[in-house]
Amino acid sequence: MPHRYFTGEIGGGRAALTGADAHHLAHVMRAHVGDTVLLCGPDALEYTGTVVSIGEGRVEFTVSEGLPSTAEPRCEVTLYAAYPKQGKLEEIIRHGVELGAARVIPFFSRYCVAAPKKEDAKNERYRRIAAEAAKQCGRGRVPEVEMPRPDFAAVCAEFAAYDLVLFFYEGGGRPLRQLLAAETPQRIAIVTGSEGGFAPEEAAQAAAAGAVSVGLGPRILRCETAPLAALAAVLTLTGDLE
């Protein structure tokens, strides 16, 4: 199977890799003119790229017509995960990408143990983790990892952009299977809490912003487990993990 690379420089039958990916292809994989690779663009299409030139820090290709990636879920799921402590967000991002999240957005809430610290530098690392996971699992595009939202009010302000917002609350709520049985929304947001869960006023905020409260069963899940369990459940019930 050809090696997979992601690039934003693709169109008109041409494409290019630069930076670390160009170096990897040219010097680690020792590519030659005429070799083929699998290229994925921001449009989640997959292209067969044929190397036409190899320069310093840049490899250029001609590309075939793009085909939709079979690895991308039919519905777009954004994962809002309360910021956990001790680097656990890295695992949420890595496994969330493998499961099929389109976007991961951390946030700080009332009961978060973690506090904002050097988030710009952390976000660069989180984006690299997402790219590595997308390559490993064969995704058609690299999911976005956005900068953390400063509080739960900022999260609620974004709910109007989704067809369905699922607020996974320790207080329980409607059965998830029932919610997703009738139809599959195109844009779904999943919201999970921190080590301390959600404050009652945050649950009220979520409901007022249009979120639907749902549960994750009778067991208490760690804050790094709950986002992945929720994501797997939603993608199973929408037919992606069957």
What is the tens place of the pLDDT at every residue in 197-225? 999 999 999 999 999 999 998 888 999 99
Instruction: Give the CATH architecture of domain 4-68.
Output: Beta Barrel (2.40)
pLDDT confidence of residue 181 = 85
Residue 190 has what pLDDT?
A: 98
Please state, in angstroms and rounded to a whole number, the distance separating the CA atoms of residues 166 and 137.
Answer: 26
pLDDT tens profile 28-70:
999 999 999 999 988 889 999 999 999 999 999 999 999 999 8
Residue 132, pLDDT above cutoff 80: yes
Show me where the domains of the chain are located. Answer: 4-68, 76-237
Least confident of 13-27, 121-135, 175-189: 175-189
Q: What are phi and psi of 35, to 5 degrees?
A: -70, 155
2 pLDDT tier (thresholds 50, 70, 90): confident
> What does DSSP say about strands 144-145 and 187-192: parallel, antiparallel, or unpaired?
unpaired
| pLDDT (0 to 100) of residue 182 | 74
- The CATH code of the domain at 76-237 is 3.40.1280.10
134-188 pLDDT per residue, tens: 999 999 999 999 999 999 999 999 999 999 999 999 888 899 998 898 777 999 9
Distance CA 220, CA 49 (A): 47
Residue 51 near residue 43, CB atoms below 8 Å: no
**Per-residue confidence (pLDDT) for residue 1, from 0 to 100:** 62
